[in-house]
Amino acid sequence: MTGPYGVLFEKVLTRVDPERAHHGAFRAIRAAGPVLRGVDRLARHGTGVRAMGLEFPSVLGLAAGFDKNAVGIDALAALGFGFVEVGTVTGEPQGGNPRPRLARLPLDRAVVNRMGFNNDGAEAVARRLAARAARLAHGRGERQGLSHRPRPSVVLGVNIGKTKVVPEDAAIGDYEKSTGLLAPYADYLVVNVSSPNTPGLRDLQAVAKLEPLLRAVRRRADEATADRDRRVPLLVKIAPDLSDDDVLAVADLAVAIGLDGIVATNTTTSRAGLLSPPEAVERAGVGGLSGEPLRRRALEVLRLLRGRVGDELTLVGVGGISGVEDAVERLNAGADLLQAYTAFVYEGPLWPRRINAALAKEAAR
């Protein structure tokens, strides 16, 4: 961490509860949205890519978890993110786990979270996305005299998960509810079965349970978007803690049922190899670990997936991407797109622009 943000982080933000700091920073980003949107094209210049039939203005996106309720999509995009994945959104609103539920491990450039899918629920988020779509259509129509739905300059992903109180045998219906409400507004959908913070959720990664779930979500998404001129791409997000054999089994399933991609990976429950002293790790508590310690395993999972699926699926590399070297390494390993979260927390709002600029230079060589 360098520059003014580094000083702010070290002197102020580290002394504030991480969840409060997150909400404060996000409010500031949203407040600056109108100014930021004036320079967003420059922020993402030269790093675009086409995947899943979509034009991504930047290969770098913001992972789910930062904007859980779809309240700051366009302001975040203006920082340089070519796509923003909102959520995780559940069928029913829920408050999440008791606080404190977010901790930093600065020596490891890591975050531990046990948020528990706190969000406003699919109905509220769908209303918010509908209002955004109407604003975009109105603004574009006023400027250009157009009546059709405009394509905003950011790709919108929607990440859906299981409501905590819904039993496992009713999980498919819960995911179907979210899908029906949210698919009409999503450029792509992600089924999250890999958070460690909802009891029993990771059990859904077993192929026998995952296949009927993904098929049901696919059917419901197609029903909900039957009036659109394109099929909404569907991806699944998996855990780094799966065995290699289980990773390959998910890859085979994704190809067999015609998924569009895989997001690799979610957070880890492992605490192996951390630089932070044991007492700091113990204070951080249970939950999913993200950031630099996840880099090696996330890279391994990505390589396993690409070796198995060839060019058939879009792979989104996420986990431990801190600098341009990490980004290039992940792209060379087979990622079509990249996502970040923890590096954004540690490096600040100018970080996406710096990564995009560095990737553009790499591409020009």
- Ligand-binding annotation for 267, yes or no, is yes
Task: Tell me the helices (H) and strands (E) count for the chain, helix number first.
Answer: 14, 13
- Ligand-binding annotation for 344, yes or no, is no
| Closest listed residue to residue 195, CA positions, set 109, 60, 288, 98 | 288
How would you classify the pairing of strands 314-318 and 83-90? unpaired
Amino acid at 7: V
Distance between CA atoms of residues 55 and 365, nearest Å: 23
* Helix segments in 145-206, DSSP class H: 171-182
Q: SS3 for 91?
A: coil
- Ligand-binding annotation for 341, yes or no, is yes
- Ligand-binding annotation for 47, yes or no, is no
- Ligand-binding annotation for 119, yes or no, is no
Could you tell me which residues come within 8 angstroms of residue 284 by beta carbon, excluding any fewer than 6 positions away? 103, 104, 105, 112, 276
- Ligand-binding annotation for 64, yes or no, is yes
- Ligand-binding annotation for 197, yes or no, is yes
- Ligand-binding annotation for 291, yes or no, is yes
- Ligand-binding annotation for 56, yes or no, is no
- Ligand-binding annotation for 192, yes or no, is yes
- Ligand-binding annotation for 186, yes or no, is no
Phi, psi of 336 (to 5 degrees): -90, -35
CA torsion 171→263→55→46, rounded to 10°?
A: 150
- Ligand-binding annotation for 361, yes or no, is no
- Ligand-binding annotation for 69, yes or no, is no
- Ligand-binding annotation for 225, yes or no, is no
| Closest listed residue to residue 301, CA positions, set 262, 260, 254 | 262
- Ligand-binding annotation for 114, yes or no, is yes
Q: Are 215 and 275 in contact (CB under 8 A)?
A: no
- Ligand-binding annotation for 266, yes or no, is yes
CA torsion 283→289→292→297, rounded to 10°?
A: 140
Distance between CA atoms of residues 323 and 290, nearest Å: 15
In the set 58, 178, 194, 195, the catalytic residue is 195
- Ligand-binding annotation for 11, yes or no, is no
Q: Determine whether 195 is an active site residue.
A: yes
Phi, psi of 47 (to 5 degrees): -125, 20
- Ligand-binding annotation for 336, yes or no, is no
- Ligand-binding annotation for 159, yes or no, is yes
| Closest listed residue to residue 263, CA positions, set 209, 181, 205 | 205
Between CA 318 and CA 326, with CA 324 as vertex, the angle to 5 degrees is 45
- Ligand-binding annotation for 117, yes or no, is yes
77: Cα within 13 Å, side-chain hemisphere = 23
Q: SS3 for 76?
A: helix
Q: Are 86 and 339 in contact (CB under 8 A)?
A: no
Active site residues: 195
Annotated binding site for FMN: 64-68, 88, 159, 192, 237, 265, 291, 320, 341-342
Annotated binding site for substrate: 68, 113-117, 192, 197, 266-267
Annotated binding site: 64-68, 88, 113-117, 159, 192, 197, 237, 265-267, 291, 320, 341-342
